[in-house]
Amino acid sequence: MARVTGGLYLAGAAAVLVLGTAAWPRPGAAVLLAVAATAAVVGAAVSWTGRRLPRWTYHGLVAAGTALIAATVIAAPGPATAVAGAAIGAFVALDAFFFFGWRGAVAQLWWLTTALTIGLASRPTVPISAVIVVDIVLLAVAVVVGGLVQRASSAGRDPLTGLANRRGFDEAAADLVRTCRRSGVPLSAALLDLDHFRAVNDGGGHAAGDDLLQSVAGRWRPALPAGAVLARHGGDEFALVLPDATGPVALAVVEQLRNVVPGVGLSCGVTQWRPGETVAQLMRRADGALYRAKNSGRGRSVLDDQGPDPLVAELTAALAAGSGESGLGVHYQGIVAVRSGQLVGVEALARWEHPTLGAQSPARFVPLAEDHGLIDALGRRVLEQACHDLAELHRQTGRRLLLTVNVSGHQLCDPDFSGHVRSALTAAGWPTAALVLEVTESLVEADSATAVAALTALRDTGVSVAIDDFGTGFSSLARLDTLPADYLKLDDSFTAALTTSTRRARLMRSIVGMAEALDLQVIAEGVETPEQAERLRTLGCRYAQGFLFHRPSPIAGVRELLEERAPTSTGPPLRQEHRRPG
């Protein structure tokens, strides 16, 4: 906002300077030069220091811009100069409707058109038609800019609740974090989860769940302090970021929100931003606090004020110890052919059964590994163990299943990553054609040439790539043609709506058709009911995974599943014999 407003002031100053210079030394030219100098000074100051100004001051700056333009119109030596000066008012309309809400922008437009109309009408040599044309032009600029801004902002808006969506929240939170870095003011964030929301959907249908989400959002919005950003983060989870608020203050705000909707269970995780943290790291700590709130009985709020997580030291020690001593291991979830139910592959999933602390959720220890530089070691442990387990299973059963392993962006940016993959395959005797590396779409779309180059190099050796969690975030069908991938894994939230949304089912059919045309195999995740599996079959989706077919288990469970689901052919049916180039 500072750069744009300052830039428009400077552009206006340049335009008035041209008018004043051309009119020199006629009466009024000196006034125009003074207006130009004033606008130049204000523009430079706003561009340089404007980010430190509170948002409300920009209303004054825009209104002051109108006053300077009106002074130009009144002091202009001739009618042509007056009309040309009035045209600069388009800058004001643009600035107001680009940054302000409709009410504030309309007020600025009213002040602009009133001031310029009076200024032009005071010049007897300016025809009334010129005044009307100027007003029409300003109105058109305002309407078009306002419409474009509203359309653009809807991309970051949740259509059900009217709150920001995950994309809008990430952008707003990133701006606030940057402000905190500059100003040093505190900032806190929270994740709020409606307890037992699934029971609401099961009991009253999705319409009841939608009504509850809308009601909660409508009651929370007016109860928040100025500057707060509330978003629907996904499903029944809401995200909140509070500028100029410490952790305890944020906790009090969250407790106030709990009281606003009595009778609705709410679990909350709250945390305060730490210098140097990214938005992702901040929200991971909030998610950890939310996990503790749920794990301790739900219906409560937990403030993450414990400092460094003691589990980090435990995880470091576990990675340094042998696999038998650390409790770190790998479980596998089967991938099946939808029509036959035949097991064709498995996804390797990190699991940690701590010797004294018990089972640790991957939702907790995997983000900890990413945040504390341990993800490379954890990823190598999972890959090596998975390759060994699947190779041993092949020797025992004669079946070679496709193995998919999740990979983080940090791993891909490690120059030694490709070497680690080749070493793990060689040590286990596992073929490259039977390995798939799963990455998220956002990682592939990120500006990381190193990560994309690593994927490309591994694909050239025969390793395949799967795009995980497709159907969330910034997914786009148009990107299917450019993603460096061989498999497309549809997110479980996408699969869950297949039996309740005809539009989602039609979209699924389109995705399957487009994917096959691009030589992509589609794997639907999160299949939990026979109805979902049947819908996938009728829509043409060949492969799926989920609790309906197989819950994650040690390798022994995969062996049992192989015995239950006897193969109808040898070799991994998922493997693509012909790949797209690149």
Q: How confident is the model at residue 402 (pLDDT cuts 50, 70, 90)?
A: very high
**Same topology between domain 166-304 and domain 311-564:** no
Query: How high is the pLDDT of residue 52?
Result: 64
Of 284, 529, 320, the residue nearest 408 (C-alpha) = 284
- Indicate whether 307 pLDDT > 50: yes
Class of domain 166-304: alpha beta
pLDDT greater at residue 373 or residue 447: 373
Contact 479, 451 (CB under 8 A): no
Mean pLDDT taken over the chain? 83
| Domain range summary for the chain, segments of one domain joined by + | 2-154, 166-304, 311-564
How large a percentage of the chain has pLDDT more than 70?
Answer: 89
The mean pLDDT of 4-23, rounded to a whole number, is 85
Residues in the chain: 582
Q: How far is C-alpha 212 from the chain's CA centre?
A: 24
pLDDT greater at residue 500 or residue 115: 115
- Indicate whether 281 pLDDT > 90: no
CA distance 275 to 212: 37
Third-level CATH fold of 311-564: TIM Barrel (3.20.20)
- Indicate whether 580 pLDDT > 50: no
Q: How confident is the model at residue 335 (pLDDT cuts 50, 70, 90)?
A: very high
Query: How high is the pLDDT of residue 198?
Result: 79
Of 65-69, 255-259, 490-494, 525-529, where does mean pLDDT reach its minimum?
490-494
Encoding tokens for residue 154? 């809807």
Query: How high is the pLDDT of residue 545?
Result: 93
Q: How confident is the model at residue 446 (pLDDT cuts 50, 70, 90)?
A: very low
Query: How high is the pLDDT of residue 401?
Result: 94
Query: How high is the pLDDT of residue 151?
Result: 63
pLDDT greater at residue 10 or residue 568: 10
Of 21-25, 167-171, 370-374, where does mean pLDDT reach its minimum?
370-374
pLDDT greater at residue 305 or residue 316: 316
Query: How high is the pLDDT of residue 463?
Result: 93
The mean pLDDT of 490-506, rounded to a whole number, is 80
The mean pLDDT of 38-64, rounded to a whole number, is 79
Of 174, 155, 176, the residue nearest 165 (C-alpha) = 155
Which residue, chain included where needed, has tokens 């995740």? Answer: 525
Which residue, chain included where needed, has tokens 């009595």? Answer: 262
**CA quadruple 523, 524, 528, 532: dihedral sign:** negative
How large a percentage of the chain has pLDDT more than 90?
Answer: 23
- Indicate whether 473 pLDDT > 60: no
The mean pLDDT of 113-127, rounded to a whole number, is 87
Q: How confident is the model at residue 155 (pLDDT cuts 50, 70, 90)?
A: low
Query: pLDDT per residue over 210-228, tens digit each?
Result: 888 999 999 999 999 888 9
The mean pLDDT of 188-217, rounded to a whole number, is 86
Q: How confident is the model at residue 29 (pLDDT cuts 50, 70, 90)?
A: confident
CA distance 144 to 502: 35
- Indicate whether 91 pLDDT > 70: yes
Q: What is the full DSSP assignment across 450-469?
A: HHHHHHHHHHHTT-EEEEEE
pLDDT greater at residue 573 or residue 186: 186
DSSP-assigned beta bridge partners for residue 439: 467
CA distance 221 to 238: 12
The mean pLDDT of 297-315, rounded to a whole number, is 77
- Indicate whether 435 pLDDT > 90: yes
Helices (H), 235-342: 247-260, 279-295, 311-320, 323-326
Query: How high is the pLDDT of residue 447?
Result: 40
Contact 229, 169 (CB under 8 A): yes
Query: How high is the pLDDT of residue 567?
Result: 56
pTM of structure: 0.52
The mean pLDDT of 94-122, rounded to a whole number, is 84
Query: How high is the pLDDT of residue 242?
Result: 94
Which residue, chain included where needed, has tokens 């041209």? Answer: 18
